[in-house]
Copies of this chain bind each other. A is one copy, B any other.
């Protein structure tokens, strides 16, 4: 569904945007774009209710009186007791176009909630045109290659602007110039709107534009443009209350015909002779243009942009209406706005904030399918699985393509440093309480994959905001992998976190471990000293210990650690349950060691290591409990990584209740049998890739 010929404007304007689809959107016929109904052709002999808005015949809207007196002045009548404005909906399967400007980490989260509400109610295929900055593009591309975009700041950066949206709000002005020339109409949305109805009903309102009308807008629901909010408040010019640009119907080809770009540029330049800057970004300019050319605007029913700003008069709209269509959180306080009815509106928003996006993978029945090749391949692979296979659940989980939201929270990439190390780990909700301690123990960059539901992702956000320790850190990148399927996809999570590590080295840890306070500095010094990278292909082993106490004084040195070990307060990791996992580290030698020493790989070895960022990925076939780290070390060994144990390094496992996965492993023989089968398949694959000789030993049946 990429535009067939890249419009020339694209290269020139160094911009663009667009599109996606893939997972959410199935169906949709790009041919439909060629259909350009004139707004009346949908009528197949059915008489319709009169839909013309009650605008005075001079084309001007009434000003202040509109909301004070007649609540519906300037709007259509929404009371069902009168004639219902059921516009002719666009035909089944017609593609609808939506443009959204989205920049930065926070908007990239916000836009997801908007898109979820859109997709929930829509019945037509949608084409999203996203104008993004580099941060949002990076995030949203990770969101399954959905989006593709660029920048167009030069076109609007000359406009001084005081609005909190910064430059990005202004970008709506240039959409007619940057969207594909073949695109006739588009709906433009702010990221802070929430749909409560099918966008096709909004699209249908294009049919009621007169020949001269090019922009559909809802009137402002605050007194801002009336200029009476406070003393010396001098707003930009507007017709009466003016219009709100959170929801815009743009008739693009007509805008191009009337010379939109020149029109708004001239107006803005002229107004800026007397006004210092725009206060409400693009909205000031749209209104100034409309004041001059009122014939351009088609006023829309107020329910399509119910504005919950601080001093909104929106109640006049929604208490009369049969039905809410779009809620606009246009206060800088967003959903925290104080408003008599904010609770009810907030519940709409929260519905989609926490909505499991996986559930939007629904077909548009009866529309031509536009499944992506990867999706089709996946579908075939899933269909080939044998439901009777004992490992069915494992194989299904392995094939699951999770939604991923990288850098869910604001993050500053670390400055490039030749020996820098990122701690890599993964966790789910039940380990959140480890994060603060981990931040105290590891002052360097971290890349963490979190396995969460959409609702849990919001709880996580609040958790970080409430924690001074966590919110002070800009170098911890949190990547949300959305939950799907019954087994914990441990290695897929590790691979997500690993792929997002931006330093030359990574410390591959687990969330239940706290590293020695000095470990970050010590590891960097060791990498430099040992001349890793240039001279040696090595994995640095960080010896692992465990405490069984959940209140515990962390040793500040190797000497203190050894004392705790001797007093029985600490053990070497899994000493009682699974000694072979760490035995090759040779703890007796470590106790005395003054310099790094080399150890040999042995079956079931699973140390915590520091390796270059481009190390082998984890094998995603291991899901749930068992053999997930072991397999990775086997592969490091097959690639002939030296294993060097560092004499001053250590990390300590804190106790926790057994995970549900480990409980299943212990109680289910199928689970154990299946793990054995997966191990054997892994070894076969490995011998194919590295040759049997590279593998030091055959797979063994191990008991835990």
Instruction: Report B-chain residues with C-beta under 8 Å of the C-beta of A663.
Output: 433
Known contacts being A44-B82, A663-B433, is A318 close to B359, with CB within 8 Å? Answer: no
Which residues in B have their C-beta under 8 angstroms from that of A348? 359, 362
Q: Any chain B CB within 8 A of the CB of A390?
A: no
A686 contacts the other chain (CB 8 A):
no
- When distances are taken between beta carbons in the complex, the residues of chain B under 8 Å from A438 are none
- Assess whether B363 is in contact with A359, with CB atoms less than 8 Å apart: no
A361, B347: Cβ atoms under 8 Å? yes
Mask for A311-348, Cβ within 8 A of B = 1, else 0?
A: 00001001111111000000000000000010110011
Tell me, yes or no, whether A275 is within 8 Å of chain B by CB: no
A84 and B81 form a contact (CB under 8 A):
no
A641 to chain B, nearest CB (A): 33
Distance in angstroms from A196 CB to nearest chain B CB is 10
CB neighbours (8 Å) of A550 from chain B are 548, 655-658
Residue-by-residue, is A597-614 near B (CB-CB < 8 Å gives 1, otherwise 0)?
000000000000000000
Nearest CB in chain B to that of A94: its residue:
B80
Partner of A92, one of B322, B463, B658: B322
Cα separation A84 to B48 with both chains bound (whole Å):
11
> How close is A315's CB to chain B, nearest CB, in angstroms?
8
- Which of A80, A343, A348: most chain B Cβ within 10 A? A80
Verify A657–B656 contact, CB threshold 8 A: yes
| Copies of this chain in its oligomeric complex | 2
Structural contact, B46 and A320, CB atoms closer than 8 A: no
Q: CA A323 – CA B563 in complex, angstroms?
A: 71
Contact assessment for A658 and B433 in the assembled complex, using a CB-CB cutoff below 8 Å:
yes
Cα–Cα distance between A660 and B550 once the two chains are bound (Å): 14
Shortest CB-to-CB span from A550 to chain B, Å, is 6
Q: Are B655 and A657 in contact (CB under 8 A)?
A: yes
Min CB gap A282→B, angstroms: 30
With a cutoff of 8 Å between Cβ atoms, the chain B residues found around residue A91 in the complex are 80-81
Min CB–CB distance A202 → chain B (angstroms)? 15
Q: What's the nearest-Cβ distance from chain B to residue A529, in Å?
A: 36
Q: Kindly identify, within residues 440 to 469 of chain A, every residue whose CB is under 8 Å from any CB belonging to chain B.
A: 453, 455, 463
- Given known A361-B347, A549-B548, A550-B656, contact A80–B89 (CB-CB < 8 A): yes
Question: Could you tell me the distance between the alpha carbons of A44 and B80 in the complex, rounded to whole angstroms?
Answer: 10
- Residues of B close to A81: CB separation below 8 A: 44, 91-92
The answer to whether B319 and A347 touch across the interface, beta carbons within 8 angstroms, is no
Bound complex: CA A88 to CA B83 (Å): 9
Question: Does A360 lie at the interface of the complex (its beta carbon under 8 Å from any beta carbon of B)?
Answer: yes
- Given the complex, which residues of B lie within 8 Å of A658, measured CB to CB? 433, 550
Given A318-B366, A433-B658, A656-B550: A350 in contact with B359 (beta carbons within 8 A): yes
Please tell me if the beta carbons of B80 and A84 are within 8 angstroms of each other in the complex: no
Check if A654 sits within 8 Å of B655, measured CB to CB: no
User: Which of A323, A360, A576, A577 has the most CB atoms of chain B within a 10 A radius of its CB?
Assistant: A323
Q: How far is the CA of A551 from the CA of B571 in the complex (A)?
A: 14
Taking CB atoms, residues of chain B closer than 8 Å to A355 are 351
The answer to whether B359 touches A356 (Cβ under 8 A) is no
Contacts of A322 in B (CB 8 A): 89, 92, 123
Q: Which of A324, A362, A655 counts the most chain B CB atoms within 10 A?
A: A362
- Collect the chain B residues with CB atoms within 8 Å of residue A69's CB: none
A577 partner residues in chain B, CB cutoff 8 A: 551
Q: How far is the CA of A430 from the CA of B549 in the complex (A)?
A: 19
Q: In the complex, which residues of chain B have a beta carbon less than 8 angstroms from the beta carbon of A356?
A: 350-351, 354, 455
C-alpha spacing A404/B359, complex, angstroms? 26
Q: Are B654 and A432 in contact (CB under 8 A)?
A: no
A164 within 8 A of B: no
Residues of chain B within 8 A (CB-CB) of A83 are: 44-46
Q: List 8 A-B contacts (CB under 8 A).
A: A46-B83, A318-B365, A319-B366, A321-B366, A351-B359, A433-B663, A550-B656, A551-B576
A90 at the interface (CB under 8 A from B): yes
In the docked arrangement, what's the CA distance between A417 and B200, Å? 64
How far is the CB of A358 from the nearest CB of chain B, in Å? 8
Residue of B nearest to A434 (CB): B657
Known: A81-B92, A84-B86. A360 touches B341 (CB 8 A): no
Q: Mark A73-107, 1 if CB is under 8 A from B, else 0.
A: 00000011111101011111000000000000000
> Which of chain B's residues has its CB closest to A664's CB?
B466
In the assembled complex, the Cα of A318 lies from the Cα of B433 at a distance in Å of 48
Bound: A144/B86 CA distance, A: 38
Residues of A635-678 at the interface with B, using a CB-CB cut-off of 8 Å, are 654-660, 663
Q: With an 8 A cutoff between CB atoms, is A416 at the interface?
A: no
A577 to B430, CA, bound (A): 23
